[in-house]
Structure 1
């Protein structure tokens, strides 16, 4: 298995900041509301082990939840003032634009271009394409070993041509994992942090190949044109990295990715 620095698996992008202009400082922001009532509503995924998973009627756990809690703290909101609402990949932007949430932390890809519907923070997480295998698989040790084998694919991912693997269609992540456990596929293809979450939920059954494939950066979504909120959130992310909080959260929530790796620096 290939090991690489945490910066190559789960990395906070370079967090650089500039002082806001006076006009930005006085512009409308959802920060005005939370400054008054010390409450914030945050959209999160309900079904991603390790990242964001509902563990009770109104309780969530995972790396994204830890990030959300730390950001809220930096905005002056205690943990008791946070309301988490479930979102999906399809409705996370609509949840934000409709006002049902003031922040969305839900493995949301950093927009390649400016999106007029949202404001995106600096990336807080970077995932790489990888393959999850059965722990007992001793033959698949590197990328070339996957050629010609069947891989089920997690939603939102696509097997690159250079992997030379055969995609096996499945309707859901759970169906993909069952196919892997039953030997119908050789592995599951997707983003490493997502795969690691499922592997950690099933101790001893799965492992990651360590492809260090295509990287995708993820951002926190904020209301459109809210420059003040973006500056505050970006500053909170930078502080988390600088004081070691970010590293500790990765180690706690995604130990499969962090045990032998060092933290990224801003």
Structure 2
């Protein structure tokens, strides 16, 4: 991101981010992007958030449509081959979103024979007891859960936590805290600005802004502490 008008990416309305009126965005990821931008000399009025998905975010970085992606981009061996990461800015776990009416579902073991929607087939390894259902998008899983077509929705906990907050009284987090996932701010491959962005994230944590944003946007995750960060001289890029 630079003061020349280029933009960060956002999501709509998945995980901790949500679309507001007149194309505005709000959420934990948006707060992170706004904080980083300000530290780089770009005021909030100079930002343009571009909606991206898991399938379009890498292309948006490559073609220059956006400068960085603070949109639930997991740091994995696979993603590190394509982009450079600053951060991580949050580490969460795989969790399950359950309908509030399913009072008897209190643990993963209670999912035996129940329908569980996922977008990532890898999550099916969590247990062989549920009747897994694959969907193309998180919003599809949400719709299935709300319509009663599935019992739960398995995803990284920031995603179901955001949906639970948008549907009070209808959905709840199971609190399974399964496999941990760290999320970074993605920049174009070999971007030399990653260490500086990592240092900015450290400042956001140190001055209390990070914790306040998490409590405001994802109160279900307030148990989540700041993620461990690499030295600001390092990057997440692999060779």
Task: State whether TM-score is above 0.5.
Answer: yes
Please point out which of 95, 100, 119 is paired with 2:65.
100
Deviation per CA, 1:181-237: give whole Å up to 9, x if none. Answer: 34332211111110011111111111111111111211111122222x112100110
In the other structure, the counterpart of 2:45 is 80
Alpha-carbon distance, 1:152 to partner: 1.5
- Does 1:121 pair with 2:86? yes
In the other structure, the counterpart of 1:44 is 10
Deviation per CA, 1:66-122: give whole Å up to 9, x if none. Answer: 000000011111111111112121121111111111111221111426846432112
TM score, norm. by length of structure 1: 0.77
Query: For structure 1, which runs of at least 5 residues remain unmatched after alignment?
Result: 1-29
Contact 2:14–2:138 (CA under 8 A) maintained in structure 1: no
Greater C-alpha radius of gyration:
1
In the other structure, the counterpart of 1:165 is 130
**Number of residues of Structure 1 aligned to a counterpart in Structure 2:** 228
- Does 1:243 pair with 2:207? yes
Whole-angstrom CA distance in 2 between matches of 1:170 and 1:88: 15
The runs of at least 4 aligned residues of structure 1 exceeding 6 Å deviation read none
Bigger RCO (CA 8 Å, 6+ sep): 1
Contact 2:119–2:136 (CA under 8 A) maintained in structure 1: no
Whole-angstrom CA distance in 2 between matches of 1:114 and 1:175: 24
Whole-angstrom CA distance in 2 between matches of 1:176 and 1:194: 11
Whole-angstrom CA distance in 2 between matches of 1:262 and 1:181: 26
Contact 2:6–2:48 (CA under 8 A) maintained in structure 1: yes
Whole-angstrom CA distance in 2 between matches of 1:122 and 1:255: 22
Whole-angstrom CA distance in 1 between matches of 2:90 and 2:142: 24
The SS at the match of 2:35 is: helix
Q: Closer, same or farther in 2 for the Cα pair 1:213/1:115, shift >3 Å?
A: closer
RMSD: 2.3
- Does 1:206 pair with 2:171? yes
Query: For structure 2, which runs of at least 5 residues remain unmatched after alignment?
Result: 229-239
Q: Equivalent residues in 2 for 1:1-266 (5 A)?
A: 31=2, 34=3, 37=4, 39-49=5-15, 51-112=16-77, 115=80, 117-154=82-119, 158-162=123-127, 164-227=129-192, 229-258=193-222, 261=223, 263-264=225-226, 266=228
Q: Closer, same or farther in 2 for the Cα pair 1:116/1:265, shift >3 Å?
A: closer
Whole-angstrom CA distance in 2 between matches of 1:177 and 1:88: 16
Alpha-carbon distance, 1:57 to partner: 4.0
